């Protein structure tokens, strides 16, 4: 799992876009950006956990119990997986995907991960 400065910068871009979409109330766009931020941020415990925290907030806003439960678990475990270097490559982080399943990253992000 690479921890390049380019990857970290790309994470910040996606996180900023997610934050802006969330603030504007566009939860679909915010979630999509968080999925990309999750793919990029997994090597770092803090950024990784932040994506799950924001997904939890979106789940709460949507009154989506499955997402909330899934994100509480991911929030508890995600940072530890990052710290151990065991986060699954390409995983998008939502409750709709298994938290330990590697996934093919989006084409434009693949060179960074």
Contacts with Fe ion, residue ranges (CB under 5 A)? 78, 93
Instruction: Measure the CA angle with vertex 108, ends 12 and 28; round to 5°.
Output: 60
Other CB atoms within 10 A of residue 19 CB:
16
Closest separation in Å from C-beta 1 to Fe ion:
12
**CB nearer Fe ion, residue 78 or residue 105:** 78
Closest separation in Å from C-beta 30 to Fe ion:
16
Other CB atoms within 10 A of residue 110 CB:
12
**CB nearer Fe ion, residue 24 or residue 80:** 80
CA atoms within 13 A on the CB side of 7: 20
| Closest-approach residue to Fe ion (CB) | 78
Query: Which DSSP state fits 91?
Result: -
**CB nearer Fe ion, residue 78 or residue 90:** 78
Closest separation in Å from C-beta 33 to Fe ion:
15
């Amino acid at each position: 799992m690479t921890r390049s400065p380019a990857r970290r910068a790309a994470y910040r871009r996606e996180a900023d876009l997610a934050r802006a979409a969330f603030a504007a109330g566009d939860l679909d766009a915010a979630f999509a950006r968080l999925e990309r931020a999750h793919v990029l941020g997994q090597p770092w415990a803090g950024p990784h956990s932040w994506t799950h925290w924001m997904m939890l907030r979106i789940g709460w806003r949507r009154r989506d119990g499955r997402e909330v439960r899934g994100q509480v678990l991911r929030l508890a475990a995600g940072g530890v997986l990052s710290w151990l270097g065991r986060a699954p490559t390409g995983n998008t982080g939502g409750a709709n995907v298994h938290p330990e399943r590697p996934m093919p990253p989006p084409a434009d992000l693949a060179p960074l991960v």
